[in-house]
Amino acid sequence: MKKTLVLAFCSLLLTVLMHAQDHAKTKKIVNDREVWLNYMDKIARPVISTLAKDELKEKMPVILAKNIDNPDNRRSVSYLEAFGRTFSGIASWVNGEGGTKEEIALRNQYREWIPKAISNAVNPAAKDYMKWEGGQPLVDASFFALGLIRCPWAWQYLDTLVKRQVVQALVSTRSTVPVYSNWLLFSGMIEAFFCRYDLPYDAVRIDYGLKEFSQHWYTGDGMFGDGMQFHLDYYNSYVIQPYLAVILETISKKRNSYNNFISRFDRISKRYAEIQERMISTDGSFPVTGRSIVYRAGAFHHLADMSLRKQLPASLKPSQVRSALTAVIRKTTESPSNFDKAGWLNIGLNGNQPGLAEFYITTGSLYLSTEVFLPLGLPDTDDFWSAPAEPWTSVKAWSGQDVPADHALDINF
């Protein structure tokens, strides 16, 4: 009897162990790239899929800031905000290749949607035809232009008529005089698009913005003023430094007028990347300072862009930045209250927080948050993705590890 019980126990134990081994083999390990792809798709899908069906204006709710300055106009331009910003953020990934079979299938789905979405945005006969003239449309036409620069695949796969309509839409923005601030770069980015694809472009609109930033608006320690004044906000990341990088890279292929600034900007942008990384706390939170904070993880557009360009400073390991940005993405996205019941973003930083919105904020504005996903344009074999996770500066410092001292950048202009 005792021998029988022992044999039965051994048989049961063997079965449990075999089941555990099978479970370990089949259990899916979710890596950081999969986490990013899931969140990117969650945010971008409602915008891109509905626009591809010519249903964006029908399906997207437009929530306005309580103190909105011009409700009717802001509502009408919110759709271009959502599209331009979302496309800009996912463009490098759409342009990429490879990945797991699931990622390839997801990219192919977006590649099916993107040409249709662009066509509906620029086709006057479409229900989702966007408003391209005016102040806010200049801003978001520039994000659309930035997306096209980042995604040559999209430009290549547009038919001749749609390309002509894209050009017409972007040319129409020239009737808007930009504000004397980071807005100069919005006009510059649109001209950079024309330059990138060998279309007639206005070099003065590019030159003016570059000279103001290079000669007058650098404030020191890796940061520029937003016009004549310095503001303690995230606009160096939301717009200024990523835009300067793309415009300089594009125009430098046609003329050598900015070589001196390019070398100095390389030092400036690396220093600001260091500052951005150090602003990410141990839990992925970051200082709630300055306007447009409801752009969520878009506050790290610059750090994401530097990662995509493989231009991070030597002081930052790519995997360290990946770990930090993963924490930011989770912190600003994982709460269910970040989204409404249909999956559209709510106004807020970490939840539904309409009180954080400035007078120009609408639902469409929030999709600048997609800029954090730029490193998905790197292949999954790149060190950014393939190297083991590394603690970022705040994690190291607040866990008692020794870290190098931080030093300001002194540079003469």
Which domains can be identified in the chain, with CATH numbers? 33-395 (1.50.10)
Count of beta carbons in the 10 Å neighbourhood of residue 310: 12
Q: At what angle do helices 135-150 and 184-196 cross, to 10 degrees?
A: 40
What is the maximum alpha-carbon separation in the chain? 96
Q: Are 89 and 374 in contact (CB under 8 A)?
A: yes
Q: What's phi and psi for 239, nearest 5 deg?
A: -135, -60
Q: With the CA atoms of 344, 347, 352 and 353 taken in that order, what torsion angle do they form, in degrees rounded to the nearest 10? A: 180
Q: Which helix (H) or strand (E) holds 251?
A: helix 241-251
**Residue recorded with tokens 């750090």:** 303
Distances (CA, A) of 189 to 13, 102, 354, 362, 371: 66, 33, 30, 23, 16
Strand partners, 224: 218
DSSP 8-state secondary structure symbol assigned to residue 234: S
Measured in residues, the chain has a length of: 413
Question: Tens-digit pLDDT profile for the chain (413 aa)?
Answer: 445 544 444 444 444 344 444 444 434 557 999 999 999 999 999 999 999 999 999 999 999 999 999 999 999 999 999 999 999 999 999 999 999 999 999 999 999 999 999 999 999 999 999 999 999 999 999 999 999 999 999 999 999 999 999 999 999 999 999 999 999 999 999 999 999 999 999 999 999 999 999 999 999 999 999 999 999 999 999 999 999 999 999 999 999 999 999 999 999 999 999 999 999 999 999 999 999 999 999 999 999 999 999 999 999 999 999 999 999 999 999 999 999 999 999 999 999 999 999 999 999 999 999 999 999 999 999 999 999 999 999 999 999 999 999 999 998 76
pLDDT at 1: 47
Residues 6+ apart with CB under 8 A from 66: 354, 355, 357
Q: Are 358 and 77 in contact (CB under 8 A)?
A: no
Q: Encode 114-140: b = buried (16+ Cβ within 10 Å), e = exposed.
A: bbbbbbbbbbeebebbbbbebbbbbbb
Q: Which helix (H) or strand (E) holds 12?
A: helix 2-26
Q: Which helix (H) or strand (E) holds 219?
A: strand 218-220
Instruction: Report which of 331, 192, 322 is spatially closest to residue 255, judged by C-alpha positions.
Output: 192
Q: Are 244 and 309 in contact (CB under 8 A)?
A: no
Instruction: Report which of 50, 106, 108 is spatially closest to residue 79, judged by C-alpha positions.
Output: 50
Three-state SS for 51?
A: helix
Tokens representing 147?
Answer: 């997306």
pLDDT single digits (tens) 222-278: 999 999 999 999 999 999 999 999 999 999 999 999 999 999 999 999 999 999 999
Q: How far apart (Å, rounded) are the C-alpha atoms in residues 252 and 322? A: 29
Q: What's phi and psi for 152, nearest 5 deg?
A: -55, -30
Three-state SS for 285?
A: coil
Residues 6+ apart with CB under 8 A from 308: 92, 374, 375, 377, 378
Q: What angle do CA 274, 277, 278 make, to 5 degrees?
A: 85
